[in-house]
Structure 1
Amino acid sequence: MEVGNGTFITEFVLLGFPELHGIRMAFFTLVLLMYLISVLGNCLIITVVFMEPKLHMPMYFFLSNFSLAELWSTTVVVPKMLTNLALDQNTICFTCCMAQSYVAFSMGATQFFNLTVMSFDRYTAICKPFLYNAKMTNGLCLSLSLLTWFSGFTLNFFQAIVVWAYPYCRQNVIDHFFCDVGPLLKLACVDTTLMELIGVFYGAVVMWGSFLFTLVSYACIITTIVRIPSVSGRSKAFSTCSSHLTVVGILYGATFFMYLRPSTQGDTRINKMMYLMIIVALPMMSPFIFTIRNHEFRAATNKVLSILDRIPPFAFMEVMKQQVPMKKCPPCSRKL
């Protein structure tokens, strides 16, 4: 269909990493390995939390939600990137591109909200230990979890619809390895200033809003930890938060650097490397960050793996059906 001197675009070309063309297969192998580690690690967290009754508590319930969001966010981007690297053909259909952009950013928002809910859980466990069981009920945990997913998918919906409806009649090359909104808006043949401002506002609400809530929670947590008289009590309290703080620092730091400015500005090479860290490196590291120092989770993992090793493949679903529902968190209510 003609538009001016051009035509409507039906597919896009993802430029990816042209500077790495000479080592394309080595880069493919590295990204594939990191992706498989992230999938296995996050699937292991979800499986162990589901199967082990001792982990049926809010802290691990929210962790499994975060792991599921990470699985979604990395899977919606990385397999397509790997396919393009393997086949050396970087096209993506228009509908696929728009869907990828929407789901990727929705999952990003869901991860931010999950981290915020996790900080609230740690705040309640450490600052209000005697009220923890009364506050963090199964109903509240489920409601908070559903709210994070609902908010992640709905807040970005209006922007996604508008971007989808834009006419794209310029060149169809996106200078990225996935359908990022900034490079995508450069191809629209209409004024996108308003949508860029809405994108900045959206980013400020999602990122700054969740970050400030997390920051306030940890300010209260640190104040409470400092007042704990025993060294062992302070160490135990801080150990429950250190992994969460590490992931918060990496995810928020990289995302603030990329998106809290007009979306069509900035060095795309730096943006691609930062997003590669968020979508490939962090999902690979976070299962280790959350579990490597957690003796309770490691013991549960060994138990679940030993059970699975003895179960015939077709009997696995029967074992899953026998798991008990999530219960309150007795250890979190212990006096530090």
Structure 2
Amino acid sequence: MFGNETRITNIILLGFGDMTDFQILLFLIFLLIYIVAITGNVLMFILVIFDQHLHTPMYFFLGNISFLEVCYTSDIFPRMLLSFLTGNRILSFSSCLTQWYVCASLIVTECCLLCVMSYDRYLAVCKPLHYATMMKTQTCVQLAATSWINGFSVFLILLILILQLNFCGPNEIDHYFCDYAPILKLSCSDTRMMKQLSYVVAAMFTLSPFLLNLISYVYIIAAILKIPSTTGRKKAFSTCSSHLTLVTLFYGSIIIVYMLPKTEGKREMGKFSSLLYVVLPPLLNPFIYSLRNKEVKEALRKCLKKKGGPLPRGSSLLNSLCLGSLQPFPPRTRMIVV
């Protein structure tokens, strides 16, 4: 690749191969998780697009995250489910790098989107009079596009650098998906620069958004505490509670997996702890918003009602699924605070 000789052509993902007696059980458990995560995020994405009551900046960014979670789970789960069902844990070296690149890029993109959402909540609570002019449709699209471009650009550079390394074995990864550190361990080249570069990337695109989230919520909480009435404080906090839960879940799982001290004796525990950010955010994000937000519950209620009732004449195939006469994404004048 890129002029270098790469002896490794296939990768063996050891996964949960030591649990040979539980492969079918693991297959059923992860298949259920995958189906629930895909269904919840696809439904949330569809509701955000077609229900005009969800045409606000916060739900626009939430729709981006739902689409991201669909891509994320589809990058990891199908290969893992196949290994449970068939016992085949071999994949090509290029497929392994592709899986890591997509997974890592989506994680950074989600960090950026959560940061953008915290900025949106900051404006909604701390600068409500300026909110409509500062969070226009064009601004929201630009912020979302920047998040996606950042995520996939930074790891494209790392991917090109990885392809310059020589990989001469072994070809076994003691994990259920291809991650950055296990891939570097397979290289017989000097990887010290690559490890240092990964720390720089993590600080810039993971830690920095996390700190910006914290700063935003310091200002938000301070503004909420200044509200004189208890009802006003509860109402203001309710506009941020779902996003705050999302941030806590995502960064909490990342911190547990990557920042807590690791020992050789806890290698298997590390493999299971990584399930925190692989499984929990995609699985719980739709429920966090659907259970805590009246707008989403109302949109879902209308969707189910339209699905069970008579369809309007001339409705399209998409409408016939459950969307009825819901309108497309609104002009910028409808982008209002939730």
Shared fold, TM over 0.5: yes
3-state SS of the aligned residue for 2:12?
strand
1:156-305 correspondence to structure 2 within 5 Å: 156-260=155-259, 267-305=266-304
Q: Does the 8 Å contact 1:102/1:156 carry over to 2?
A: yes
Structure 2 distance, partners of 1:261, 1:183, is: 17
3-state SS of the aligned residue for 1:68?
helix
Structure 2 distance, partners of 1:265, 1:222, is: 41
- CA shift, 1:261, in A, is 8.8
**2:328 pairs with 1:324:** yes
Alignment match, 1:143: 142
Cα deviation 1:154-175 (Å, max 9, x = unaligned): 0111111122332211111001
Structure 1 distance, partners of 2:241, 2:318, is: 35
3-state SS of the aligned residue for 2:91?
strand
Larger mean CA deviation between 252-261 and 237-246 belongs to 252-261
Alignment match, 1:70: 69
Q: Does the 8 Å contact 1:291/1:297 carry over to 2?
A: yes
- CA shift, 1:137, in A, is 0.4
- CA shift, 1:266, in A, is 9.2
Q: Does the 8 Å contact 1:182/1:264 carry over to 2?
A: no
3-state SS of the aligned residue for 2:197?
helix
Structure 2 distance, partners of 1:53, 1:165, is: 49
Q: Does the 8 Å contact 1:9/1:172 carry over to 2?
A: yes
In structure 2, give the amino acid aligned to 1:26. L
Q: Does the 8 Å contact 1:200/1:262 carry over to 2?
A: no
In structure 1, give the amino acid aligned to 2:147. T
Structure 1 distance, partners of 2:274, 2:257, is: 8
3-state SS of the aligned residue for 1:171?
coil
Q: What root-mean-square deviation, in Å, do the aligned CA atoms of Structure 1 and Structure 2 show?
A: 2.6
Alignment match, 2:130: 131
3-state SS of the aligned residue for 2:247?
helix
Q: Does the 8 Å contact 2:45/2:67 carry over to 1?
A: yes
Alignment match, 1:108: 107
Larger mean CA deviation between 59-68 and 240-249 belongs to 240-249
Alignment match, 1:3: none
Structure 1 distance, partners of 2:305, 2:319, is: 16
3-state SS of the aligned residue for 2:11?
strand
- CA shift, 1:254, in A, is 2.1
Structure 1 distance, partners of 2:202, 2:20, is: 33
- CA shift, 1:21, in A, is 1.9
Q: Does the 8 Å contact 1:113/1:148 carry over to 2?
A: yes
In structure 1, give the amino acid aligned to 2:328. V
Instruction: Quickly say closer, same or farther: Cα 1:274–1:141, change in 2 above 3 A.
Output: same
Alignment match, 2:316: 315
- CA shift, 1:17, in A, is 1.2
- CA shift, 1:280, in A, is 1.7
Cα deviation 1:117-173 (Å, max 9, x = unaligned): 110110000111111101110110010010010001001111111223322111110
Cα deviation 1:275-325 (Å, max 9, x = unaligned): 212112221111111220211110111112322444499822467797232
Q: Does the 8 Å contact 2:225/2:233 carry over to 1?
A: yes
- CA shift, 1:330, in A, is 3.6
Instruction: Quickly say closer, same or farther: Cα 1:322–1:247, change in 2 above 3 A.
Output: closer
Q: Give the share of equivalent positions with the same residue, in percent.
A: 36
Cα deviation 1:209-240 (Å, max 9, x = unaligned): 00011111000000011111111111111122
Which structure 1 segments of 5+ residues have no match?
Answer: 1-5
Larger mean CA deviation between 57-66 and 298-307 belongs to 298-307
Structure 2 distance, partners of 1:265, 1:95, is: 28
Alignment match, 2:7: 8
In structure 1, give the amino acid aligned to 2:240. C
Q: Does the 8 Å contact 2:124/2:337 carry over to 1?
A: no
Q: Does the 8 Å contact 1:98/1:164 carry over to 2?
A: no
Structure 1 distance, partners of 2:299, 2:228, is: 31
Larger mean CA deviation between 203-212 and 275-284 belongs to 275-284
Structure 2 distance, partners of 1:180, 1:286, is: 23
Structure 2 distance, partners of 1:207, 1:266, is: 28
